[in-house]
Copies of this chain bind each other. A is one copy, B any other.
Amino acid sequence: MENEPKIPINILITHGFLISMDAGLSIIQDGAIAIEGSRIAAIGTTSTLESQYQPQQIIDASGMFVMPGLINTHTHSGDILFRGLVEDLPLESWLEQLWVAENHFINAESVGWGARLAYIEMVRSGITTALDMFWFPYELAQAAKEVGFHLATGFVFFDSPIADGMLPKERYRLARQFLTQYACDELIIPAVQPHSVYTVSTENLKQASKLAQEFGTLFVTHASETLTEVRNCRRDYGCTPIQYLDRLGALTPRTVLAHCVHLDSDEFDLLSQRGVSVANCPVSNMKLASGIANVSQMLLSGVNVTLGTDGPVSGNDLNLWYTMRLAALVQKTVNHDASLMSTKQVVSMATREGAKALGISAKTGSLEVGKQADIILVQTGRAHSTPSFDPYSSIVYSLGREDVETVLINGRLVMYNRNLLTINETEVIEAVRQLGIQIAIYVSQPNQAEKSQTGIRRKE
């Protein structure tokens, strides 16, 4: 054996504490991962893999957790331009102020800058894949490719010509084109994204569902986020948003529903039967006082629950570490049971369950041979993470975005020792900062209220 030639590979990660998140939640101490091209070629102990492989590059993960990249199943990247613009207002006034700014500033170019910054922020916090609902998906896909980030996205179905100025027909035509173009992309996962039951007509929702079926892609929408939404749906359609979507045939294993705050137990069972995934977004739901989804009950009913940050306007950052911890805390609280939401469960939601929701379990969500090398290295042993008795506890309750040192996506080093390697971060931050200055000037103008009155409104 000793004289056998070593196998050449691109990258060997060595001496890490491997948290695989595979089905058996295997852990390897002093572990190594061999990466060839975009894939994981081998996983084992450092000594074994060092004896077998000849890497071009060695990444020393001493003192670090090596784990699958996190998966953010709900966000609106372009909203990053308005991060923190409107605070402490009830939903209606909040939306009004936000839309004034959105209607004026959202265009293909500004969305491109916003998306770049959002994907940079996500990479920095260890997210390697996101499901993103925003206008100008071609620009989103372009930004994701620049950063080297896995992005699930596609055209938003919306009855009014909002920020992108398009009518539903035009968006439908482009949605088909987008689905075709990105059908086999190594980074982009195409999706059909009707905004919600209250902003898209029955006919257009059916069309979206059919389109997702035709292309075998994700069907993504907001559902039962607020009590008002549920009430209005009952008034307009005689049933809840979940029942209504089911009637339209829109609930399938390719469906991702964001929020699902106001559901009853029959609806949990229905989602479970249909194989639907739910993107739980506790930060946003709490900040906008929408309510708290009963994730623990959903899990008991067998629903695949995943985690989302929501957009940086309602959640303010794209930090799935904050979300993991909050998701656990809030479920223990509302169910009066400290034993709920085990740390393993929470980390699963942010990794392997997220991959399942996006239909990419075979490709990512865990460290396994043959899967994409979507891997993050997380520094342990700092003041805030010492001592550590259990890796999952550390991940959920004491580590944070700042501990993510190195990120590989599809086998490519996107961040190394906290330096972004694929994109000029300074340029992106400066571009968004400048847009922010313009936005601040615009919203401070005295005729802002008038603009709001004459501006295009969403149906909500």
Contacts and interface: CB of A to CB of B under 8 A. Distances in A.
Contacts of A384: 121, 124-125, 317-319, 401
Interface stretch (A192-200, A204-212, A392-400): A392-400
Contacts of A322: 322, 325
Interface stretch (A177-185, A233-241, A281-289): A281-289
A88 B339 contact: yes
Nearest to A121: B383
A330 interface: yes
Chain A interface secondary structure, helix, strand, loop or mixed? helix
Q: Which of A383, A401, A432: most chain B Cβ within 10 A?
A: A383
A330 B286 CA distance: 6
Interface in A430-456: 432-433, 435-437, 439-440
By size class, the interface of chain A is: 35 or more
Contacts of A436: 386-389
Contacts of A81: 387
A333 to B, nearest CB: 4
Contact of A333 (B286, B317, B343, B428): B286
Given A121-B384, A435-B387, A400 B398 contact: no
Contacts of A83: 386-389, 398
Contacts of A435: 387
Contacts of A432: 386-387
Contact of A388 (B84, B330, B333, B428): B84
Interface of A: 81-85, 87-91, 94, 117, 120-121, 124-125, 283, 285-289, 291-292, 312, 316-319, 322, 325-326, 328-330, 332-333, 335-343, 381-384, 386-390, 392-394, 397-398, 400-402, 425, 428-429, 432-433, 435-437, 439-440
